[in-house]
Chain A
Amino acid sequence: GDSVTQMEGPVTLSEEAFLTINCTYTATGYPSLFWYVQYPGEGLQLLLKATKADDKGSNKGFEATYRKETTSFHLEKGSVQVSDSAVYFCALSDNKFYFGSGTKLNVKP
C-alpha cells in the first residue's frame, strides 16, 4: 500500500542554518505530494504541494521538488528562523491521504 517515510527528529539548528528534512514515498499510482506544518498548539497548515513529477512547491522560503525517480520530496530552506520551529509532516494523496510521522524542528537563536 501507499506510505510516506520521513526522517526522525528532533532536528535542532541554529538560526540562519540550512534545513533539509527528508521524505520518501511509496505509491502505486501518481500521487500528489504535500508538506504540512503544525505550530505548537495549532492545527496542521499546508506549507507547499506538488502534483506531478519535477514540480517544485515553494512557500515562505521553503521548497520541495517532486522526484519520481527517487520517490522523494525533501523539504529545504536556505536560512531558518526561530519562528520556523514546528513539526513538519510529509503527505501524499492518491485519492486517500497518507501522512508521515512528522519531524520536529527546533531552531535556536
Chain B
Amino acid sequence: EAGVAQSPRYKIIEKRQSVAFWCNPISGHATLYWYQQILGQGPKLLIQFQNNGVVDDSQLPKDRFSAERLKGVDSTLKIQPAKLEDSAVYLCASSLGTSGRAYEQFFGPGTRLTVL
C-alpha cells in the first residue's frame, strides 16, 4: 500500500515570496491533516479536512496561509507571502476517519521549508 506522498521535499525561498506544497493521501482515507513542525517542537495542526470540507482550521494563519482539497483527494497548502518564522517542516497526514478517536494518522515525509 502506498503511503502519504508529499512534494517537494525541500524548498528554499526568500521572505515575501509565495510557496505551495502538495499532498496525496493514502487511497480511501477521508481525513487529511496539515501540520507545521518547527525545529525542536511537536507538530501543530494547521488544518483538517474531512473529504473536501474543512473540519478545523482554527490554528491556520488565514492572512497568509490557505489550503484546499479539491475532489476530496489530494491537497495543496499555500503560503503567501512567506515570513521568516514560517521556516519549518510541513507534514501531511491522512486517516480513515476522524470521529473515531482511535483512528491512526499516517504521515508523509514532510516538506522542509527554509525562508531566508
Interface SS of chain A: helix, strand, loop or mixed? strand
Q: Is B102's beta carbon under 8 Å from chain A? A: yes
Instruction: Give the Cβ gap from A97 to chain B, nearest Cβ, in Å.
Output: 6
Q: Is B4's beta carbon under 8 Å from chain A? A: yes
Instruction: Give the Cβ gap from B2 to chain A, nearest Cβ, in Å.
Output: 13
Specify which chain B residues have a CB less than 8 angstroms from the CB of A97 in the assembled complex: 33, 45, 105
The verdict on A51 contacting B102 (CB below 8 Å), with A43-B107, A96-B56 known, is yes
Q: Is B25's beta carbon under 8 Å from chain A? A: no
Specify which chain A residues have a CB less than 8 angstroms from the CB of B103 in the assembled complex: 93
Interface size for chain B: under 10, 10 to 19, 20 to 34, or 35 or more residues?
A: 20 to 34
Specify which chain A residues have a CB less than 8 angstroms from the CB of B61 in the assembled complex: none
Specify which chain A residues have a CB less than 8 angstroms from the CB of B102 in the assembled complex: 32, 49, 51, 93
When chains A and B are docked, how far (Å) is the Cα of A68 from the Cα of B56? Answer: 27
Specify which chain A residues have a CB less than 8 angstroms from the CB of B48 in the assembled complex: 96
When chains A and B are docked, how far (Å) is the Cα of A43 from the Cα of B89? Answer: 10
Closest to B9 in A: A41
Specify which chain A residues have a CB less than 8 angstroms from the CB of B56 in the assembled complex: 96
